[in-house]
Each structure stands twice: as C-alpha cells, then as structure tokens.
Amino acid sequence: MKMNNTKSKNNNQETYFVPTDVMLEIAQIILQADLPHEIIGVKENKRQIILGISYQTNLKFHQEAIKNINDVLKEFHELCNEESETINWRES
C-alpha cells in the first residue's frame, strides 16, 4: 500500500506499507535499482514495514523499479482478498 508522495524537480519519494510476506521481493527490487530508501517504522500488529523510497523520475530503471514494487504489492493484496473471499467461515 502506498501512503504519500513528495516531489521535487527530478526526485520523488513515496511511502509504502510493505507486508512482511513480500518484504524480500521488495528489498530485492530496491537493491537491484539502487533506490535510496529508509525504514520509517513498523506496524507490528499488521506485520508491515513502513518504507520511504526515493527515485529519480528521469531514470527509466527507477521508474520500472517503482512500477515493479507497486505490482508486487497489488498482486499480494489481490491474492489476500481472493483467499479471504474463498474461505467460508460458516463451515469452520
């Protein structure tokens, strides 16, 4: 989940709530693209890490890395929602 976005001339910074289940995939994308980042906080009860990620808008590989991060998070949330819809709690 993306929280906010700050922009300067050629730089953007976005804040993400990253579920721990996909943290390794997100970390790999960040490291491969050499994106400046910092851990802002942890939501232990939701098993999320809050990351601030900076990227340069004029660098195609930075834009692709941000797209990949958004895609991983979107797919994870869709999977979680799909699983919760298929569970019939009344039969448990």
Residue-wise pLDDT tens digits, 9-68:
688 999 999 999 999 999 999 999 999 999 999 999 999 999 999 999 999 999 999 999
User: What is the pTM (predicted TM-score) of this model?
Assistant: 0.80
- pLDDT of 69 strictly over 70: yes
- CB-based contacts of 29: which residues, under 8 Å, 6+ apart? 35, 65, 68, 69, 72
Contact 72, 29 (CB under 8 A): yes
In the chain, at which residue ranges do the beta strands (DSSP E only) sit?
Answer: 2-7, 11-19, 37-43, 48-56
67 is written with which tokens?
A: 């797209």
